[in-house]
Structure 1
């Protein structure tokens, strides 16, 4: 019996193993089949000549030879009408996507249904004839192929007609750069039956240079003005058409800014004489007289220099009242304000925004400045400025400036609802409501009152078990904007009104809940803003204060569990007081405080040289910094300059710098007033030690266009905050951290640094930061884009209370602790924002031993996935 049972078990076991073997074999075969199908599809798609018609060739390369020398200048290649299909590292992805599409889906549908009567009759039994016809326009028969065609790129064919057009454009490019004797030809070389490259051959000859410049200006007044212009056309320079356009625009701009109201660039033309001159050209600059139409004939006369005789401002203009009589008027500062109803503005609030001056000559620049300033008041819709010849002037050389202002509604209501993502908040929903009040004190002031709220989800918050949304914040804000500098003395010479200055008062109160400490944040500022030059902004916060109050500081170790776990592990070995523990773990808060005090006062076996002692000290320092209430009274200056012209500009730089000083004013007042210091030797305000430090930051972003659609972006950042006087450390809200989706993407936020330390704190931060990032961005298909990136940087403690050597920056040698992360990402452009997914790999980790820093964690197990909105820089 036992023998039979044993035999049965063996048979069952063999059957089971056989079934597993068959299933495993099926899985392996299935995997092989799937791989085979994938390779077949890729091979089928990668046949780049697949959609090339018979007797046609795919253009795979262009080459341009200048005087027998192969050119690499992308600007010259951009002149060509035909460019090969785009590629990524040689792979023509968009072309292959296009090749996957069926060029004639209608024919395929007819072959399957309409030309196969048996199949058609069989399908009609289940579906109606109308439904079968509807399949023709369905996604699987038509839509998917249209999608592939629209996403991909049709094959670019070598075309003789377009090659001829390319020659014409090349010759024009060289001609415009002074090569008047340019000769050009092309040749199509077959590389395969359906592949070709086009070679262009240019024989430039010698360039022409400007020999001399003469002028013929028919209006004497304009001739006098021209003598004050520094010409772009300089004898000895190589001929460039661009210089002639710049000269024409420069002349027109200067004349129109000096009274030539009717002048336009088309009144300027050039005669270029190269006869009997070897590679030289004599230039004659002609400025014609003013021409106008009278009856059926064209007449000319010298240009007049116009002056402003009157300025009329209509403060409540609209399309419905333009024919109605004005009911109110007031004269102020050589201008007249009119109202169809009672004027509701203090006169200087309007006239201060006007740069046009009675008695001065007409100026385009002053017109533009006036429009910008009036628009910046945010009180009127886009203003209109018109000029009319003053009928009272018998010489007809005076202009009346008429300025039409259409007021916006005094009260307006707005709201926002946004999805958010930050270095701490994985996902959040933010909403706000805003009430705007315009012309508050009849001086074009703007008051904004707003309330906001946010709920979010964060894996970095220790009590995340409370639910998906474990972070919340709500607050109220008020901002009052004055469209001028409010200061006891005049500042016109320092900040002229052409810089469009403003003064802003702001107050804010917010409360964070459900993160354990429950913070309250009260902020306020008194700021000046101005624009020194185009694309340049400056901001001076004369006073900027922040009061942070922690409502539940005793809950610290319930929130920051990583810090608690690190402290608890040390206590299991070195704790000497049984009252500090319960069930083998430190009691929060009495036990954690008791054990920390024992370590730091030398009552345990640990000494300051021990790593565990330093870790306890670090944990305690961070606990104090994160739980202490902070009061910061600072003055800071921010400067931003960019060369970016518009959103389509991909060759630009942006530079930002900041200088901040906190506590200086309070210390000066305390010293002058002989206010006594507390037991720690520090001054207090509202029974709270205020922060004192100096902080500076430099941030540079640069973008370069690479080829037709690639972009290389770079960012470098340096910031340092040094405590002094009343402080020996920086408030947490003013410190730096590393890692995250907008920083070093191979580390989670707050997980990198400081220095070579390997702290397990929940938030690793310090008072100095260096960061450098580079990213190559390229299109993939349609709205999809890709990126390859490298991020480098770290944070350190310097000149503060931190004593842990691995976290400090002591010398230039510590730059070897700069962490390096590399990776790749995907981007999807939704027009109004970009969704970003990045995968970062730890390439160089300074927290490891010196011989184990490079590539030891370069794997998927230690990689970091980042989600972001818009580009990181």
Structure 2
């Protein structure tokens, strides 16, 4: 182990141990709340479900081990006027002093929570353990025997509502024999309310549903009755049945100012039109086509009010980037004995055009450069909320370490144009299907010109894809119906060609420096259980994410070429316009899970696997489709593209450190430090492999009896600055198992670490998974 590395570890430990007593600022007669636990005598009542009711928690621990911020606070002196003491107290946390009042409140809330689960005789006893000026507190929960529902009755005098509830009885949450759980009772109230709101009961809410529970003497049984209260607008009104409302008329107001508090009938409009029976009011000029307004509407005149359709309408208009806000208001329109609603869809126009500039610095292996881009965006190109984006980008980099005969500059120029239609566009598909699928369609063109000292390369691409999300954005789908990429190499330096492409016949390099077509289709799916709570690759509460991706390239072209009897070129490949095309299948799976330990600590797990198989017209994958390992989002003990494949040690050629198969696994302990800083302890494992045995990648082929011995392992520490809208991440990883070596001393650097050899530093934006 390097002396400097050993000294750094010892110094860190010494600083922590040298902190003054944790009770330095605990007044006499008071106690530092050192630990709080909950113990239950019933496996069905988990302490983790009751921890939210604890009113007073001890000082936070980094990684659930060290009360670092308490120690920082205790480093401060008594003189609060000194700047160093003020800073230490601001960075640290004052000691949490035990409070009898908060303990009693916690006892009451835990008792109530357990009783609500059906354990009406539950008791909670705080047990205090005092040692000098520290106190450990244990809430001992005795649940006793649970109460169960013996009989279940419904007191519903509204015959129509009673019929709806009976029709839906198969999915009820209530049953005889169930625990008398107040939370389940309340969930059933909400379920019935949602059902009625979808069937015209515009004014219904769950407060109209109540329960009476009669306990049977000398038993733990309950006779439960669900009551439905009649409708009253005011307490003194005569009770009546709840009314079912029908949508009468739907109108659009397209220039609503959400900042104005004026009533709807005083909104300034100066023109209107009718489209398929829908009045559309606007000021000066209608900026959206009437068909777009109607196609995104799910509120239909003549049908019962449906809260679900209202939310679908909000969701549809929220997808239109031409709009800033949407507000839907309903007004009663009583006609004879029927109850009707007039709906007004109030739309606030957004900013349709914008121009943005970006400037960035680049550093590629020590070669400094700069890049700049300008983008124009029009969010309502054809008055259907179509989004057109046009972007120009330029980059320059001074390349060092090349032969003097070569130009030392790298220049990149690029142009990109995409247009996004907020609807499903495909010929011969019914309008009703297009309306229901709620997909967006995107067409794109890209052109990229790269002039390096060794070669000049042009990459042109065109794409046609669909995207859509369901269930509050928990699921997202993408279909790349057609993605065409054309790689063209106008010129290659003769010296570079002779030394790298022809010398030693490096097949991987040669294949990726030839003109080539990639014509692919693909599908990707993302599911996140947290839905809209998903923020910055982290989430609120326990959650998991699944990512699937599948793509195929060249299969149709190969079939056409083979059936058409086309001739192959000198390399044995079919061509399109005299240009060989790639052919492969590729699939990826990715799973990540976040487990919350408490409000400051969590565990994150990740597993990823991928395989890409060249076949038919290709024996090699295009470089852009190959896998690499190492880096900020992989095995962090290695630099980016510095690991594998297999036991291959690398030869300073990054193309040779790529593969066809990838495995990745990580576990990360995340903790809040102070302010917006977060810390992490992580262990990563993984590698890449090739399907075939390439002579330029010895030891890189995947073999079932050997691959598990070639899995690299790394461990390390991370520091993150979470600024809510993005996260800056700094990770330092150390190699633990290095598959490049077979000797134990070199193979297991976790036993014999060498900082200069085994450490890798990473800077990235966002969490690794």
TM-score by length of 2: 0.89
Measure how far apart 1:337 and its partner are.
3.1
Return the alpha-carbon distance in structure 1 between the equivalents of residues 11 and 647 of structure 2: 49
Return the alpha-carbon distance in structure 1 between the equivalents of residues 9 and 767 of structure 2: 35
Match of 1:288 among 229, 234, 237: 229
Query: Would the aligned equivalents of 2:216 and 2:223 in 1 still touch at CA under 8 Å?
Result: no
**Which residue number corresponds to residue 214 of structure 2?**
273
After TM superposition, the structure 1 = structure 2 runs for residues 20-39 of structure 1, keeping only pairs within 5 Å, are none
Change in CA separation of 1:804 and 1:746 when aligned onto 2, cut-off 3 Å: closer
Query: Would the aligned equivalents of 2:213 and 2:225 in 1 still touch at CA under 8 Å?
Result: yes
Within the alignment, does 1:382 sit opposite 2:321 as a pair?
A: no
Helix, strand or coil at the partner of 1:641: strand
After TM superposition, the structure 1 = structure 2 runs for residues 235-250 of structure 1, keeping only pairs within 5 Å, are 235-250=176-191
Match of 1:60 among 34, 38, 55: 34
Q: Which has the larger Rg?
A: 1
After TM superposition, the structure 1 = structure 2 runs for residues 328-727 of structure 1, keeping only pairs within 5 Å, are 328-332=272-276, 334-391=277-334, 393-417=335-359, 431-454=372-395, 473-490=412-429, 497-514=435-452, 516-534=454-472, 535-554=474-493, 588-590=496-498, 596=503, 616-617=504-505, 620-645=506-531, 646=533, 647=535, 648-727=539-618
Measure how far apart 1:798 and its partner are.
0.6
Return the alpha-carbon distance in structure 1 between the equivalents of residues 715 and 14 of structure 2: 32
Return the alpha-carbon distance in structure 2 between the equivalents of residues 529 and 147 of structure 1: 50
Change in CA separation of 1:517 and 1:322 when aligned onto 2, cut-off 3 Å: farther
After TM superposition, the structure 1 = structure 2 runs for residues 746-765 of structure 1, keeping only pairs within 5 Å, are 746-763=637-654, 764-765=657-658
Per-residue CA distance 1:593-636 (angstroms, 9 max, x = gap)? 67x3xxxxxxxxxxxxxxxxxxx45xx12321332233211000
Measure how far apart 1:513 and its partner are.
4.2
Query: Would the aligned equivalents of 1:504 and 1:528 in 2 still touch at CA under 8 Å?
Result: yes
Change in CA separation of 1:275 and 1:542 when aligned onto 2, cut-off 3 Å: same
**Which residue number corresponds to residue 179 of structure 1?**
119
Return the alpha-carbon distance in structure 1 between the equivalents of residues 665 and 677 of structure 2: 26
Deviation larger for 531-540 or 431-440: 431-440
Helix, strand or coil at the partner of 2:53: coil
Return the alpha-carbon distance in structure 2 between the equivalents of residues 803 and 515 of structure 1: 24
Per-residue CA distance 1:428-478 (angstroms, 9 max, x = gap)? 7664433222333333322122223456799xx865999xx9766442211
Return the alpha-carbon distance in structure 2 between the equivalents of residues 309 and 505 of structure 1: 39
Change in CA separation of 1:46 and 1:301 when aligned onto 2, cut-off 3 Å: same
Larger relative contact order (C-alpha < 8 A, sep ≥ 6)?
2
Within the alignment, does 1:95 sit opposite 2:73 as a pair?
A: no
Query: Would the aligned equivalents of 1:510 and 1:520 in 2 still touch at CA under 8 Å?
Result: yes
**Which residue number corresponds to residue 220 of structure 1?**
159
Query: Would the aligned equivalents of 1:65 and 1:71 in 2 still touch at CA under 8 Å?
Result: no
Change in CA separation of 1:804 and 1:832 when aligned onto 2, cut-off 3 Å: closer
Query: Would the aligned equivalents of 1:836 and 1:867 in 2 still touch at CA under 8 Å?
Result: yes
Return the alpha-carbon distance in structure 1 between the equivalents of residues 337 and 763 of structure 2: 69
Query: Would the aligned equivalents of 1:307 and 1:359 in 2 still touch at CA under 8 Å?
Result: yes
Measure how far apart 1:756 and its partner are.
1.4
Query: Would the aligned equivalents of 1:728 and 1:801 in 2 still touch at CA under 8 Å?
Result: no
Query: Would the aligned equivalents of 1:746 and 1:822 in 2 still touch at CA under 8 Å?
Result: yes
Measure how far apart 1:808 and its partner are.
0.8
Per-residue CA distance 1:31-50 (angstroms, 9 max, x = gap)? xxx99999997666331010
Measure how far apart 1:687 and its partner are.
2.3
Return the alpha-carbon distance in structure 1 between the equivalents of residues 101 and 470 of structure 2: 51
Per-residue CA distance 1:542-568 (angstroms, 9 max, x = gap)? 10011223455337xxxxxxxxxxxxx
Return the alpha-carbon distance in structure 2 between the equivalents of residues 464 and 828 of structure 1: 42
**Which residue number corresponds to residue 736 of structure 2?**
843
**Which residue number corresponds to residue 558 of structure 1?**
none
Query: Would the aligned equivalents of 2:39 and 2:47 in 1 still touch at CA under 8 Å?
Result: no
Query: Would the aligned equivalents of 1:328 and 1:342 in 2 still touch at CA under 8 Å?
Result: no
Match of 2:244 among 281, 295, 305: 305
Query: Would the aligned equivalents of 2:454 and 2:493 in 1 still touch at CA under 8 Å?
Result: no
Change in CA separation of 1:415 and 1:224 when aligned onto 2, cut-off 3 Å: farther
Measure how far apart 1:219 and its partner are.
2.6
RMSD of aligned Cα (Å): 3.3
**Which residue number corresponds to residue 561 of structure 1?**
none
Return the alpha-carbon distance in structure 2 between the equivalents of residues 287 and 504 of structure 1: 50
Query: Would the aligned equivalents of 2:575 and 2:581 in 1 still touch at CA under 8 Å?
Result: yes
**Which residue number corresponds to residue 660 of structure 2?**
767
Segments of structure 1 that go 5 or more residues without pairing to the other structure are 1-33, 107-140, 556-586, 597-615
**Which residue number corresponds to residue 101 of structure 2?**
161
Change in CA separation of 1:166 and 1:48 when aligned onto 2, cut-off 3 Å: same
Change in CA separation of 1:51 and 1:190 when aligned onto 2, cut-off 3 Å: same
Per-residue CA distance 1:89-113 (angstroms, 9 max, x = gap)? 643211111112235424xxxxxxx
Measure how far apart 1:284 and its partner are.
1.4
Query: Would the aligned equivalents of 1:158 and 1:197 in 2 still touch at CA under 8 Å?
Result: no
Per-residue CA distance 1:790-840 (angstroms, 9 max, x = gap)? 111111111586685611113243222111111222223334333222222
Within the alignment, does 1:199 sit opposite 2:199 as a pair?
A: no
Change in CA separation of 1:465 and 1:314 when aligned onto 2, cut-off 3 Å: farther
Measure how far apart 1:174 and its partner are.
0.9
Helix, strand or coil at the partner of 2:207: helix
Return the alpha-carbon distance in structure 1 between the equivalents of residues 482 and 490 of structure 2: 26
Helix, strand or coil at the partner of 1:703: strand
Measure how far apart 1:367 and its partner are.
0.7
Query: Higher helix fraction: Structure 1 or Structure 2?
Result: 1
Query: Would the aligned equivalents of 1:97 and 1:151 in 2 still touch at CA under 8 Å?
Result: yes
Change in CA separation of 1:203 and 1:98 when aligned onto 2, cut-off 3 Å: same
TM-score by length of 1: 0.79
**How many residues matched?**
741
